[in-house]
Amino acid sequence: MINILFGGNYKVFDGILLCLLSMTKHTNEPLNVFILTADVTSLNLEYRPITKDMSDYLDKILKSKNPKNKVQLIPLKQEFNDWILQSQNRLSIYTPYTFLRLFADKIDEIPDKIIYLDTDIMINGDIKELFDIDIENYELGVVKDRYGHIFINYKYFNAGMLLLNMKIIKQTNLFDRVKKMCVNKKMGFPDQTALNKCATKKLFLPRKFNEQGPLQKDTIVQHFSKRIKWLPFFHTQNIKPWQIDLVHSVYKWHQYDDIYDEYTKIKQAMNET
């Protein structure tokens, strides 16, 4: 069984659905999916949690692919909200939900080995290849950040995909140290930078496990992260997998059209109920 971890509010439902549809296309291994969420409407009325109905629907879709697949929703409550209010990074370019993963070591249900994925990711190969990588002696497996390893530090990694060894993370108190840094120091890329600073036992993996640019022949995990475009003038692009028209018109990508067809039918069925 492959363990997968997501985090977010109700707005990332479409991203999780697309990621899981693309994942089930490429693997026969059962998926054990955990979704962390929280009600943070005290900061912003849009910070509403993923609902049980949403996770149940995802569970239903996954079980239609493989009866052994399952989705479990784990709402974080007062501990998370209290911590967020202390953090200097509670208001940043990212929502507070990026920090949910830092509480995974406090949740009994989370297994010792799990793949964390951002919700703007599509899968283009068997995720089992990533999950089977031996990280017994490491806190996490990571891929270098496309721009950060050039402009920040050559070992700077992207936190959109993390292969987590929860047993070692608990031993080194990695997430506690990252959370402490996020409370005390304002950062542009909050917990990603803190993870880079605090993680000492990390295994660098090939970019095919977190491709942050166009799809390559060997890509397994494609991350729709923000891209820098230098011509005809400097600008950025931040197109997400669920922005299908923009994926087609701007990126000219059609490799996920079969997934998009299935996604569209599922969304139409949801709207009709």
Reading the chain (273 residues) residue by residue, the pLDDT tens digits are 999 999 999 999 999 999 999 999 999 999 999 999 999 998 889 999 999 999 999 999 999 999 999 999 999 988 898 898 888 877 777 789 999 999 999 999 999 999 999 999 999 999 999 999 999 999 999 999 998 788 788 899 999 999 999 999 999 999 999 999 999 988 778 899 999 999 999 999 999 999 999 999 999 999 999 877 766 767 678 899 999 999 999 999 999 999 999 999 999 998 876
- Strand partners of residue 113: 165
**Regarding beta strands 235-237 and 227-229, do their DSSP bridges make them parallel or antiparallel, or are they unpaired?**
antiparallel
CA dihedral 183, 176, 195, 49 (to 10 degrees): -70
Yes or no: say if 71 and 62 are a contact pair by the CB < 8 Å rule. yes
Name the amino acid, one letter, at 121. I
Task: Tell me how far the alpha carbon of residue 149 is from its chain's centroid.
Answer: 20
Say if residues 139 and 171 touch (Cβ distance below 8 Å). Answer: no
Contact 158, 145 (CB under 8 A): yes
Per CATH, which fold does 2-225 belong to? Spore Coat Polysaccharide Biosynthesis Protein SpsA; Chain A (3.90.550)
* pTM (predicted TM-score): 0.95
Contact (Cβ atoms closer than 8 angstroms) between residue 56 and residue 33: no
Half-sphere exposure (Cβ direction) of 245: Cα atoms closer than 13 Å: 0
- One DSSP character per residue, the chain reads -EEEEEE-BGGGHHHHHHHHHHHHHH--S-EEEEEEEE--TTT-TT-PBPPHHHHHHHHHHHHHH-TT-EEEEEEE-HHHHHHHHH-TTSSSSS-GGGGGGGGGGG-TTS-SEEEEE-SSEEE-S-THHHHTS--TT-SEEEEE-TTHHHHT-TT-EEEEEEEEEHHHHHHHTHHHHHHHHHHH---SSHHHHHHHHH--SEEE--GGGSB-SS--TT-SEEE---EEE-SSS-EEE---TT-HHHHHHTS---TTHHHHHHHHHHHHHHHH-
Q: What is the pLDDT of residues 14-47, one digit of tens each?
A: 999 999 999 999 999 999 999 999 999 988 899 9
Place of tokens 């999780």: 16
115 within 8 A of 2, measured Cβ to Cβ? yes
